[in-house]
Structure formats: structure tokens, C-alpha cells
A = this chain, B = another copy of it.
Amino acid sequence: MIRTLVASLLSIGALVTSINVSANEPIQPIKAVKPKNPDMVELGKMLFFDPRLSKSGFISCNSCHNLSMGGTDNIPTSVGHAWQQGPINAPTVLNAGMNLAQFWDGRAKDLKAQAGGPIANPGEMASTHKVAVDVLNSIPQYRAYFEKAFGSEGVNIDRVTTAIAAFEETLVTPGSRFDKWLGGDKKALNKQELDGYKLFKSAGCAGCHNGPAVGGALYQKLGVHHPYKTKSTAEGRKGVTGKDSDLNVFKVPILRNIELTYPYFHDGAVDTLEEAVKIMGKVQLDRDFNKNEIDNIVAFLKTLTGEQPDFKMPIMPPSNNNTPRPQPF
């Protein structure tokens, strides 16, 4: 009797596993997001692409988080106002809503808190929240879009960042080959990719790079076993908490679409996935991956590329005689 019950429970367990491969995997598939407020998302999209949020009128959110290019700029550190060199590699905005916090050091608690930063950062968009709001508020079409999205009149920085964050929340990338495999499509990955995934788990990579975003869920010291050599002066979490123990502790980056979000690491110093995997093996796991192992892990990582943003380029409402003018030079 008891044996039968145990056997039944075991077979139920087996059944559940075969239906949902991901139940026992450290990575879960990404689900598409259905926007609660499409008007808000449309407004946020327009703001994301509008360079008038910068002092110069030349830099938009999309300049450094280019949605045509994996939600980043593919250069080591970003170009800011007056061609200032940014201090750190621009993280991708794709799936960024899954991060436990924003920026490499987690100093912004969410996408909304993040969105206000670059607008007013003298080294990035170099505007002020007041000027950015004045620009938008001078444009009747923008005022109407805000009213439609928020249900009442008014343009202010809280609403600007709320709308940008609402748009960014939609920037998820389901449908990767890996997610198809997780969903039960055994042919979605080839042997090399599966071997790479097995090694990714057994070697310990998945200890930090897990969850639906394959990262973004915790902070970890860069250089657990050996120091990571860099010219960057970024201190990581120490800059937020002030604790010496948080030196070189960074948010574990998202590995979704990692093939698209080169160059790698917070200093953007590493051009290739092969080199990145080799370095991570050494400094985080004290392991010297051989060429075959590296190639397998890289092959697996490339299966994490999902469906990219799929929407029409927004058309901005024009400035008018009352709109504050940009100051590029």
C-alpha cells in the first residue's frame, strides 16, 4: 500500500518534470510582459528616444541603451555630454526590470529611480530635471500624452521617470532557444550547447547567474579567488554602503542576450565572450577552463539571445516657440 503510494508520487513527480523541464533548473524562462497601461508605455517610449531630455539635444536614453543593439552601446564606457568618457560600462536595459536594483552598484532601487539619474548627471545627459520638465511641458502634444497616461494634467519628473520605467518594464526578451529548451523542445539546443550548459551549472557559474534573467538577482564580489585586473576606479557596493567589505562587490550582470551586450564586465575591457568566460572561471571559481570548455559555455551563452524589441520608431512632437532650446556647445 505504502509502496504503491510512493510509486504513484514518484511517477507524478516524473510527469511534472517532463512537462516543465525548468522545474529543476536554476534558470527559468522569461515571460512576455503585457503592459497594464499602454498609453503610459507609449509615452515612456517617446521619452526614451527623445534627446531633448539632454542639455545638448543630442543624447537620449537610447543613445547608450540602444534598443537596436541589445539595449546597450557596445563600447567600453559611454559617451556623455561634450564627449565625456563614462566611468563604467552601460548595462543593458533589456530585462533590466528583473534586476534586484539598478546600476552596477545597485544605488537605484528600481527602474524609476534609475531613470532620473542620467538626465541630470553632468557627465551623461547633463540637463536638470527642471529643464527637462520645462521642455516637455512647453509642448502641447506631450502635455496631452501625459494626461492620457496618468488620467490627470501635469508634467513633472516623477511622472517622466514613471513613464520611462513603464516602457522599460516591457523590454523583456522571451523566446530564446534556451527558453524553448526549458519549455520542453529538446531539439532547441545542440550537444555542444547542452554540454556548455551542464558545465555552466557544474562549475558553479549558475551559483550567481541564475533565475529568469540569468543574473541580476544578487551582489557578488568580483575576484572571489583572484583579483580582477582593471584600470577602472569603480568601487562597487562600497560606494553605496561605505563598507570596506563591499569593495569590488557588484551586481551580478544579466546574461540574457550576452552575445549582444559586448564588451564585458563593469569596465567594458573584455571584447569577447571566450575571454570573459576564461577570466570568470579563474577569478570567481579558481578554475582554468580549457578551450573546449570555454567554447561549450560560449555556445550555451549564445542560446540566451531572445526576441528583441519589436515596435515602430516613435515620432516626437516638435518643439515650439516656447520650448527651451538645447545647448549642445
Contact = CB atoms under 8 A, between A and B. Distances in A.
B79 A316 contact: no
A218 interface: no
A321 B271 contact: yes
A308 to B, nearest CB: 5
A260 interface: yes
A62 B119 CA distance: 21
Given A49-B68, A321-B271, A312 B315 contact: no
A326 to B, nearest CB: 6
Place the interface of chain A in its size category: 35 or more
Contacts of A83: 82-83, 329
A117 to B, nearest CB: 20
A57 B90 CA distance: 14
A313 interface: yes
A56 interface: yes
A311 B310 CA distance: 10
A13 to B, nearest CB: 40
A271 B67 contact: no
Contact of A318 (B50, B70, B313, B325): B70
A179 interface: no
A168 interface: no
Contact of A316 (B68, B313, B325): B68
A313 B67 contact: yes
Nearest to A81: B83
Given A83-B329, A262-B318, A262-B319, 6 more contacts: A58-B79, A68-B315, A75-B326, A272-B321, A309-B313, A310-B312
